[in-house]
Amino acid sequence: MATQEKNLATAIGWVPPPGWPALSRAECAEKLTAPGMRFEMETIDIDGVQTRVWKNAPSSLREIALAGRSHGDRLFTIYEDERVTYDAWFRAVARLAVEFQARGIAKGDRVAIAMRNLPEWPVAFFAATTIGAICVPLNAWWTGPELAYGLANSGTRLLVCDEERWDRIAEHKADIPSLETVFVARAAGSLEGAETLESVIGTPPEYAGLPDAELPDVSIAPDDEATIFYTSGTTGKPKGALGTHRNLCTNPLSSAYGAATAALRRGEVPPAPVQKVGLTVIPLFHVTACSAGLMGSILAGNTMIFMYRWDPVEAFGIIEREKVNSTGGVPTIAWQLIEHPERKNYDLSSLEAIAYGGAPSAPELVRKIREVFGALPGNGWGMTETMATVTSHSSEDYLNRPDSCGPPVPVADIRIMSEDGSRELPTGEIGELWARGPMVVKGYWNNPDATAETFIDGWVRTGDLARVDEEGFCYIADRAKDMIIRGGENIYSSEVENVLYDHPAVTDAALIGLPHQQLGEEPAAVVHLAPGMTATEEELQAFVAARLAKFKVPVKIVFVEDTLPRNANGKILKKDLSSLFARETESGAT
């Protein structure tokens, strides 16, 4: 272990127990991936690229759905007082899949989902993907115009949404010529231009009474297209990352491999799979919750608990009542669970693991999770374009390297490249992180130029700056240029800056990220006003809020007398702007 990482481990008060690690990571890999073992690998051709894959991974999302059906009366989802078993969920999936086909949805057609984490979400997702349709999970925090863009850009023919999302979308339906059918869940009022989802499958408590039916017979290959998850770019409109069935079916084994390795590293035999209860507090429209969370949960027969909205005290009650084994998602969640004064009033002893990704985390958080809950910490690195997990980090290895995001999973490769992409850099040097493996998506939907720029011979250029140590552990040094990650949500500066520029008083604007203990970062803006024009912080915040999702609104706006500093190419020197803001270390996730 390099001196820098050793010092950090010491700083958080962790000392490796005697005899740890019992095996090197190479020895673990040799044992776990041997012929005939669960984690055996094979090399196949994917679009002309020789790629290592998990030999025993499910072949498609149909296979995952059928595995879920086998769990029978085991609880699949809990939402408030609604409890849905795996058998009931599958009945609803099969019924809705038939209805989708009756509405003309065929293989390759797009079916979008726009809703909160509700029991209806995994029903709609698998009803679409098991008949070969491409599911488009849309960000439920988006505004009406943002949602309309995603629907129109993807060419969505059928939408399943909740009432809140429909209220935002309805007035823009004329801008979505492809959209033919809309099913709205949990509608309290009358609907115009849409139907209720309940008219087809009933409410979640009624799923168990649906007929016991088979899925429609559709042939699906591992590399058939399955999803479009939208990810914002540093310029222009959001881009749709086109994922395959193989992409989503890779994550369950990657996660399980991490758990098996942790056991071997501490000298234990990897335990047999045990059904767990997890509190899912990050949105299913993110690849972290959908690909890295939902897929593995269904295969294992785990129970997933959803919340209407995140509230730490309510979460304490759920953890105590339902004996939750794992939670997390982004560092925000972990910090709030640790620091909330009500924590001491609840029995949280069932918690075994708190894992997160999608936002920067302080090494101190690693120690706190172990110290406060006695739980094992976990994190990893991935992005929408990699359908979640590329590197994985947990347990003692994470405590030992608390600033790393872990080594790549065995079926993935990472490399650190020079800025121009012409050469691989030596161990320890910082450069652009490139990744490849069966989790990397095909490219961007209907965007060949962006695809050619980002995806090269099976590798995805991530835009993140990173280094790799002598044992293969990855360390993210900085993230994609101009991107701010607020509690796991990506905010691209150019999008917010463009809105600010639309204000008649603004002639110069830049968005930067302010450090925040729980959220990782918050957006803040520096603005120069036109001579003789006036605007207040509150006015500009309201101006942005009327046009973009609330998490993108700058929490602070500083006004400067002069235009913003630029380099010789005319680009704003953002690194010089943070000094304009008082350092923020206090709390207060919203």
3-class state of residue 28 by DSSP: helix
Q: Which residue has the higher pLDDT, 480 or 237?
A: 237
Whether the CA torsion 180, 184, 190, 195 is positive or negative: it is positive
Q: What is the structure's pLDDT at 406?
A: 95
Query: Is pLDDT at 587 greater than 50 in this prediction?
Result: no
> What Cα–Cα distance (Å) separates residue 219 from each residue in 89, 98, 109?
22, 15, 15
Query: Is pLDDT at 47 greater than 60 in this prediction?
Result: yes
3-class state of residue 431 by DSSP: strand
Q: What is the structure's pLDDT at 582?
A: 62
Least confident of 102-111, 311-320, 349-358: 349-358
The number of beta carbons lying within 10 Å of the beta carbon of residue 501 is 13
Q: Which two tokens stand for residue 516?
A: 């925040």
Nearest to 438 by CA among 41, 135, 138: 41
Query: Is pLDDT at 396 greater than 90 in this prediction?
Result: yes
Q: Which two tokens stand for residue 440?
A: 């990397």
Query: What whole-number distance in Å separates Cα of residue 551 and Cα of residue 142?
Result: 9
Mean pLDDT of 32-51: 97
pLDDT per residue as tens digits for the range 482-540: 678 898 888 878 788 878 988 989 888 899 999 898 888 999 999 999 888 999 999 99
DSSP H helices in 170-311: 198-201, 245-265, 287, 295-300
Domain 3-57+250-478 in this protein, CATH class: alpha beta
pLDDT per residue as tens digits for the range 442-458: 999 999 999 999 999 99
Please state whether beta strands 326-329 and 353-356 pair in parallel, antiparallel, or not at all (unpaired).
parallel
Identical topology for domains 99-221 and 485-580: no
The number of beta carbons lying within 10 Å of the beta carbon of residue 295 is 24
Least confident of 305-314, 416-425, 493-502: 493-502
Which homologous superfamily is 485-580 in? Answer: ANL, C-terminal domain (3.30.300.30)
Q: What is the structure's pLDDT at 584?
A: 37
Q: What is the structure's pLDDT at 483?
A: 78
Q: Are 371 and 377 contacting, i.e. CB atoms less than 8 angstroms apart? A: no
Least confident of 67-76, 104-113, 350-359, 429-438: 350-359
Query: Is pLDDT at 2 greater than 90 in this prediction?
Result: no
Strand partners, 284: none
- How many Å separate Cα 15 from the centre of its chain? 32
CATH code linked to domain 99-221: 3.40.50.980
Query: What whole-number distance in Å separates Cα of residue 171 and Cα of residue 148?
Result: 9
Nearest to 589 by CA among 332, 308, 227: 332
Return all residues near 187 (Cβ < 8 A) that are at least 6 apart. Answer: 163, 166, 194, 196
Return all residues near 443 (Cβ < 8 A) that are at least 6 apart. Answer: 241, 242, 451, 454, 455
Query: Is pLDDT at 590 greater than 70 in this prediction?
Result: no
Mean pLDDT of 138-150: 95
Ordered by start, the domain boundaries in the chain are 3-57+250-478, 99-221, 485-580
Q: What is the structure's pLDDT at 480?
A: 58
Q: What is the structure's pLDDT at 402?
A: 87
Q: What is the structure's pLDDT at 551?
A: 95
- Residues of the chain with pLDDT > 70, as a percent, come to 94
Q: What is the pTM of this model?
A: 0.87
- How many Å separate Cα 234 from the centre of its chain? 18
Mean pLDDT of 385-413: 94
Three-state SS for 29-91 is HHHHCCCCCCCCEEEEEECCEEEEEECCCCCCHHHHHHHHHCCCCCEEEEECCEEEEHHHHHH
Nearest to 297 by CA among 76, 54, 87: 76
Query: What whole-number distance in Å separates Cα of residue 108 and Cα of residue 132?
Result: 6
Query: Is pLDDT at 88 greater than 60 in this prediction?
Result: yes
How does DSSP classify residue 463?
E
Query: What whole-number distance in Å separates Cα of residue 551 and Cα of residue 490?
Result: 9
pLDDT confidence tier of residue 567, bands split at 50, 70 and 90? low
Return all residues near 90 (Cβ < 8 A) that are at least 6 apart. Answer: 65, 68, 69
Q: Which amino acid is at 320?
A: E
pLDDT per residue as tens digits for the range 255-276: 999 999 999 999 999 988 899 9
pLDDT confidence tier of residue 332, bands split at 50, 70 and 90? confident
Q: What is the structure's pLDDT at 363?
A: 74
Query: What whole-number distance in Å separates Cα of residue 88 and Cα of residue 76?
Result: 9
Query: What whole-number distance in Å separates Cα of residue 408 and Cα of residue 411?
Result: 8
Q: Using alpha carbons only, what angle is made at residue 311 by residues 308 and 314, rounded to the nearest 5 degrees?
A: 85
Write down the mean pLDDT value for the chain. Answer: 92
Q: What element of type H or E holds 111?
A: strand 110-114
